[in-house]
Amino acid sequence: MKFNLNFFETELYQIPQRPLSLAANQKAYVFLAQEHTAEELDFLAKVMQAVGLSLEKEVQVVPCPPKQSFQLQEKPLAPCFFFGLSTAVLGLRLELPLYQLVHYQGLQLLQGISLQQIALQKQHKLALWRALQDIFPSEK
C-alpha cells in the first residue's frame, strides 16, 4: 500500500478565534502581506484611483499575518484581491490564474503577484490594469 505523502507537505494556517469582519459597502477588498510598504500602498492608491476608486473610502485593505487565515463573518459582495498572497488566507485551497476574476462559492477572487513586483514589471501592470477595467468599467 502506498501513501500520498504530498498531503503532509501542504502549508498549514492558523485560523483565529474571531471571524474577520469586513466593512460593508466597500467596492473592493485587498489582502496584502502584513509587512507591506508605504510605496506599495501608494502604488495601490494610484491603481485604484485610475479605475475611479478611493483607497481611503471605497477599498478595505486587510493586512494578513504570515501563516494565518481568516474566517469571514459574512461573504463580501465586492471583489477580493490577493497581492503576494494566496487564497489560503481565507481558508480556500484554490490555484487562481493571475489577473482573472474567478467566481467561487459566492466570492469574487483575483490573484496577483506582490504590488512591489507589479510596480516594477510592465507586463504585470498591464495585466492588472486590463483586469481592473473589466471589473470596474468606466462610465464614460
By the 8 A CB rule, do 14 and 46 touch? no
pLDDT tens track, the chain, 140 positions: 444 555 555 555 555 556 777 888 899 999 998 888 999 999 999 999 999 999 999 999 999 888 788 888 788 889 999 999 988 888 888 889 999 999 998 899 999 999 999 999 999 999 999 999 999 987 54
Point out which residues pair with 104 in neighbouring strands: 107
Place of cell 483575483: 110
What is the predicted pLDDT for the residue at 67? 79
Whole-prediction pTM: 0.82
Query: For residue 52, what is its C-alpha cell?
Result: 475611479
